[in-house]
Structure 1
Amino acid sequence: MTPSSSTLRAADQITYLDQAAASYPGRRYKQQLLAALDLCPGHVVLDVGCGPGTDLPALAAAVGDGGAVIGIDHDPAMLKQAQHRSTTHPQVTVRSGDAHALPLDDASIDRARTDRVLQHLADPRQALAELRRVVRPGGLVALAEPDWDTLAIDAPDSATSRGYTRYIVSDVVRNADIGRQLGRLLTDAGFEVASIEATVAMFHDYQAANDILRMPAVVQRAWQSGALDENTARAWLTSLTNGPFLAAFTFFTAIGRVPTTNS
Structure 2
Amino acid sequence: MAISKAVKNTIDSVGKFTSVDMTHDPKWFINFMDEANCLPDHEIINRKLAEVLEPLDYKSIIELGCGTGNDVRYLLSIYPDVTEIVGVDLSEAMIAEANSRIIEGSRIRFEKGDGKHLHFDDNRFDAARAKLVLMHCDSIDTTLSELIRVVKPNGKVAIFDHDFDGLLIDHSDVKLTREIVERLSNKAKNNWSGRQLFGRFLNHGLVNVSVEAISVNLTLGVLRSMILGQEDMAHLSKAEQAWWEELVIKNEKGLFFASFIGFLVVGTK
**Same fold by TM (over 0.5)?**
yes
* Distance change in 2, residues 1:50/1:219 (3 Å): closer
Aligned partner (choices 185, 193, 196) of residue 211 of structure 2: 196
Provide the secondary structure at the position in 1 that maps to 2:200: helix
- Decide whether the 8 Å contact of 2:163 with 2:195 is kept in 1: yes
Matched, 1:23 2:29: no
Change (3 A) 1:185 1:193: farther
Query: What corresponds to 1:240 in structure 2?
Result: 247
Q: Residue 65 of structure 1: CA displacement?
A: 6.1
Q: Gapped runs of 5+ residues in structure 2?
A: 1-20
Contact kept? 2:89, 2:113, Cα under 8 Å: yes
Deviation at 1:202, TM superposition (A): 3.0
Q: Distance in 2 between matches of 1:215 and 1:66?
A: 34
My pick for the range that moved more, 185-194 or 145-154, is 185-194
Residue 75 in structure 1 maps to residue 91 in structure 2:
yes
Which amino acid is 1:246 matched to?
F
| Residue aligning to 2:61 | 45
TM-score, normalised to structure 1, is 0.85
Indicate the RMSD between aligned Cα atoms, in angstroms: 2.5
Moved more, 108-117 or 52-61: 52-61
C-alpha displacement at 1:39, in angstroms? 6.5
Q: Is the 8 A contact 1:195 1:254 kept in 2?
A: yes
- Runs of 4+, deviation exceeding 6 Å: 5-8, 219-224
Which residue in the other structure is 2:238 paired with?
231
Change (3 A) 1:47 1:219: closer
Partner secondary structure for residue 136 of structure 1: strand
Distance apart, 1:220 and its partner CA: 6.2
Unpaired runs of 5+ residues, structure 1, are 259-263
Q: Which residue matches 2:113?
A: 97
- Which residue type is aligned with residue 245 of structure 2? T
**Contact kept? 2:90, 2:114, Cα under 8 Å:** yes
Contact 1:143 1:255 in 2 (8 A): yes
Of the structure 1 ranges 177-186 and 208-217, higher mean CA displacement relative to structure 2 is found in 208-217
SS in 2 for 1:55: helix
**Secondary structure of the corresponding residue to residue 176 of structure 1:** coil
Deviations along 1:75-122, one digit per CA (max 9) or x if unpaired, are 111001111222335311111110111110000100110010011000
CA contact (8 A) 1:186 1:193 kept: no
Q: Normalised by the size of structure 2, how large is the TM-score?
A: 0.83
Q: How far 1:60 moved relative to its partner?
A: 2.9
Distance 1:35 1:241, change over 3 A: same
Which residue, out of 165, 178, 197, partners 1:182?
A: 197
Alignment of 1:217-228 (within 5 A): 217-218=228-229
Give the residue type in structure 2 aligned to 1:180. R
Query: Aligned partners of 1:61, 1:35: CA distance in 2, in Å?
Result: 13
Alignment coverage as a number of residue pairs: 245
Q: Using CA pairs below 8 Å that are at least 6 residues apart, which structure has the higher relative contact order? A: 2
Residue 10 to residue 107, structure 1, CA distance change in 2 (3 Å)? same
| Cα 1:77–1:257 shift into 2, 3 Å | same
Deviates further, 183-192 or 193-202: 193-202
* In structure 2, distance between residues paired with 1:15 and 1:56: 17
